[in-house]
Amino acid sequence: MKKGQVCEGVVRRVDFPNKGIVDTGEGMAVVKTGLPGQKVKFIVSKMKNGKAEGRLLEVLEKSPLETGHPCSHFGLCGGCNYLSMPYQEQLAIKEDQVKRLLERVLAKQDAPWQWEGIKGSPAEYEYRNKMEFSFGDEVKDGPLALGMHKRGSFYDVVTVEDCRIVDADYRVILKTVRDYFEKSGVTFHHKMNHQGYLRHLLVRKASKTGEILVALVTSSQNPWTGTGRAREDVESLVAGFRDSLLQLEKEGLLKGKFAGILHIINDSLADVVQSDHTEVLYGQEYFYEKLLGLKFKISTFSFFQTNSYSAEVLYETVREYVGDIDSSGANDKVVFDLYSGTGTIAQLMAPAAKKVVGVEIVEEAVEAAKKNAAENGLANCEFIAGDVLKVLDEIEEKPDMIILDPPRDGCHPKVLPKILNYGVDRIVYVSCKPTSLVRDLEVFLEQGYVVEKAVAVDQFPWTANVETVVLLGNRL
């Protein structure tokens, strides 16, 4: 194979994250996207160390595993990868991906370890509690679209009115907002020239309480750029957006209820949801969710697991891996929860520990964690805002156990030596990207730790993502 060559082959397996290993009969190639058993056509985009990497052109034959899909957008929207397969087949693929990655690194370990398979999500569909929809168009100069990016495209947006990983309230809200702004003639924000008004629609809904938080994200520009219409009408435009949503609740078209409706101004050049200024149009900037008997206050940008149902499975697994922190019942142990987010894990550990210290770089998440702990009556939780790399040098207390739940790229390389210096007997590592996990595990293994057991948890049905929980023990 050579660069630019068009080839055909059969996908033999899918490696994380979503890398189809294609057998052409003359060699193997890595092609992004694809399902085991599919016959595909691809173009070789890169040759690296004699290995071919390709871009999918066409699926020539379906996989025998594909038995249909319940979403009209599948294949066009870039959100889901495995929706055309039975859920159990998807779980098998993810389990195989994680297990093979772990086996590769743990081949260097001279102690036995236990693989505990994969735990599926209690909700296979309509599980998301947060969505960031983008404004745009599906084709150049086409009608206004609001939804997800088209597969393989940075610019084109597909209106996903039939999306099945969210519940009906999301679908009704999305359609209402798109229709409202299409009639208003407002421009969307173009990523290339950074001109236009509408940017994103952020929708969060608590799966357990039913509370809904909606934020319209726009630029500060004139919504009717190039139309000659004055920007003095912005206030009535935004008020109309709010009222169109409240009308849904008034007419009983929603199962949930609005906790807050916000208007966020964002003039950043980056295509991210962030706030230069936030105006509360209705209610408040937060809502409440419940997990495992605890109550959590979640604000607009607070990190919280996007699948509340599976989050309970994940956190119960962490609690199980921690075990009895002190079997004597003395509760005199200090636990560090690093990259603690809104402090969910820390609060779950608090009843069994003398003290739990959570460290998180996002200040808003730390403030939310403090308030959540107070509302849950947990006085032995301390939350520190700052970079884990720096904060570990400032904390005087020494942990008896460490729980790690880093972002997708894993722990900063300079953080790992500081964690290792504590020499704790147990470390529980929670990872949302197994390739980052195995890279960090190599460092732990080199310093005398061994993996005792590991399990995958499907937090994100139908997508290429998967969580992993690993228990490490210190042999030194």
pLDDT digits (tens, 9 = 90+) for 166-211: 999 999 999 999 999 999 989 999 988 899 999 999 999 999 999 9
Give residue 82's region: left, alpha or beta (phi > 0; psi -120 to 50). alpha
- Look at residue 227 in the predicted model and tell me its pLDDT: 64
Instruction: List Cα–Cα distances, 32 to 40, 91, 212, in angstroms.
Output: 11, 19, 35
Give 412-415's long-range contacts (Cβ < 8 A, gap of 24+): 412/388, 414/389, 415/338, 415/388, 415/389
Q: How many Cα atoms sit within 13 Å of 337 on the Cβ side?
A: 29
CB–CB of 105/445 below 8 Å? Answer: yes
Q: Has residue 255 got a pLDDT over 50?
A: yes
Q: Has residue 225 got a pLDDT over 80?
A: no
- Look at residue 328 in the predicted model and tell me its pLDDT: 46
- From first CA to last CA, the distance across the chain in angstroms is 49
CB-based burial of residue 432 (10 Å sphere; 0-12 exposed, 13-18 middle, 19+ buried)? buried
Q: Has residue 91 got a pLDDT over 50?
A: yes
- Look at residue 279 in the predicted model and tell me its pLDDT: 97
What is the arithmetic mean of pLDDT over 229-237? 81
- Average pLDDT of the chain is 93
What is the arithmetic mean of pLDDT over 453-474? 96
C-alpha Rg value of the chain to the nearest Å? 24
The residue with tokens 């040098």 is: 393
- List pLDDT tens digits, range 103-151: 999 998 989 999 999 999 999 999 999 999 999 999 888 899 999 999 8
Tokens of 465: 């993502």
What is the arithmetic mean of pLDDT over 353-379? 93
What is the arithmetic mean of pLDDT over 8-24? 95
Name the residues annotated as catalytic: 432
Q: Has residue 85 got a pLDDT over 90?
A: yes
pTM passes above 0.85: yes
- Look at residue 154 in the predicted model and tell me its pLDDT: 82
The answer for residues whose C-beta is within 8 angstroms of residue 183's C-beta and 6 or more apart is none
Strand partners, 295: 290
- Look at residue 79 in the predicted model and tell me its pLDDT: 86
Q: Has residue 459 got a pLDDT over 50?
A: yes
- Report the C-alpha gap between 181 and 400 in whole angstroms: 55
